Structure formats: C-alpha cells, structure tokens
Amino acid sequence: MQGFGVHTSLWSLDWTRKAAELAIPEAKRYGLAFVEIALLDPPAVDAEHTRKLLDQHELTAVCSLGLPDDSRPTNNPGKALEFLTMALDKTAATGAKALSGVIYGSIGERTGKPPTQAELDAVASVMEKAAAHARKLGLELGLEAVNRYENHMLNTADQTVSLLERIGAPNVFVHLDTYHMNIEEKGVANGILRAREHLKYIHLSESDRGVPGTGTVAWDEVFGALAAIGFKGGMAMESFIELPPQIATALSVWRPVARDREEVLADGLPFLRNKARQYGLI
C-alpha cells in the first residue's frame, strides 16, 4: 500500500466483472499504483477475474467495506466475525493487500449516545479475532475513523489509535480520511500526528467529496503533516460520482459533487500529486 490509488466508487460501487474491466485499465492509464475495491457484496465478487486483471495491469489493491446493519459487533458479534472472515477470504483471493473501512460497524450506525464500554469491548473482541484470521492470510486490517453522521464509534484519530492499541495486533493500522477529518479533528494535522506510526492509509477526499483542490480541505496542512511523520503508506483519492440510493442515503450525498470521473482524474489527481511532490512524499 504505497503511492497513489483511487477508490473504485469513481467507476462503480458494485464490483462486477464489467466494473473491474473498466476501472482497472483506466487506473493504470492514469499511472495509479493501486485501486481500492468496495466489497459491498463480497460473495458476488469474481475474485479470480479481478486478480487476473490486477496482475495484467501490474496494480495492487485494497478492499474496503462497512458491515451490514445486522452484522455489527455490537448487535451480533458472531455474525460480524463470520462476515469479516468471509470478506477477508475474498480480499485474499483478489490478491489485495488489506481490508479496511468501517469494519467495526455499519455506515449509519448511531445510538444517540457516545460509544459505551460494552460496545467498545464487543468491537475490540471481534477485531482481535478478525486480525488473527487476516494474519493467517497475510493481510492487514484497517480501522477507518468516519464522521459523527455515519457512525458513533470511531470519529477521530485519537479514538482509533486507542482502539488499535487495545486490540494489540501488529497487522492492524489506522486509516484516516480528509473528508471526515475536516469535520471531526481540531486541525487535520493533529489527527495525522496522533496516528503517526499507526497510519498506513489515507483517503484524500475534498470537503464535498468532489474534486480535490476545489473545496475547503487544508491540503498544505495535510501534506505537511504527512511529510512530518515520514508517511510511506497508500494515498487513495476518494470521490463519489454515481451512488445507488442505499449508499447515497448512508453517506448523505444528494447531488453531483463533480461533473464526471474525467474531471476528478484529470484535475483532482494532478492537484494531489503536485502537493505530494511539493512535500517530498513522491
């Protein structure tokens, strides 16, 4: 997980053979190192087909997901672990290097209260078991902090590091996202500095989830902090173009945030690369 990548939601959230045949060659044409594959329906993914395409185009991959509502550690820990085990097996079968995202809960999970100790205990227990299975497969496991509107468990880098340290598994890492940090952190740099040695993956997302460089994210602060910690991990551009209703509802995306994917790739990607180059990250 190094260099620049892109979340495949830019092409499709349903990872079908058709989506893979569109996204992977185009990612290669834009000089990307990896793609992040959304595993919304892991059993439906043709892992062998994806792996062949990745090998053919010399790309690596990361997989990501949010748990189903009925398979959270907090409401059904056995089912949550079963789902994660199946998703990890599929991740390994595609040749991807890691599974990350809201793997500790579901997108839209909120109770109206701060996370309780019992909830954190349940999450830590499932994550420990999932990390052990991931380790057997040679995979890493990422915990993504997301904003308060999408989940109530992990909103900040500090919360995420605390859970990671409690899990205590060497293959678990922190996954940050500039869109969420722009809402939750008291300065994006503070979150990056807090995660420091645990930070192996970051979503580079604009404040409206559109074209990077056109919103209010403090990009010099982001890249300056990444340079300060000697960041060597994956930098994934995440912008949403077309979302199915269930995902749009979970993410509260009600309007186009970019003209099309060409605008994101032709304008946003060079902007991010230039910033990374300016701060010595590439």
Written in H, E and C, the secondary structure of the chain is CCEEEEEHHHCCCCCCHHHHHHHHHHHHHCCCCEEEEECCCHHHCCHHHHHHHHHHCCCEEEEEEECCCCCCCCCCHHHHHHHHHHHHHHHHHHCCCEEEEECCCCCCECCCCCCCHHHHHHHHHHHHHHHHHHHHCCCEEEEECCCCCCECCCCCHHHHHHHHHHHCCCCEEEEEEHHHHHHHCCCHHHHHHHHHHHEEEEEECCCCCCCCCCCCCCHHHHHHHHHHCCCCCEEEECCCCCCCHHHHHHHCCCCCCCCCHHHHHHHHHHHHHHHHHHCCCC
Residues designated as active site: 144, 238
Q: Of 31, 113, 128, give the one whose Cα is nearest residue 81.
A: 128
Structure tokens at 99: 């599974």
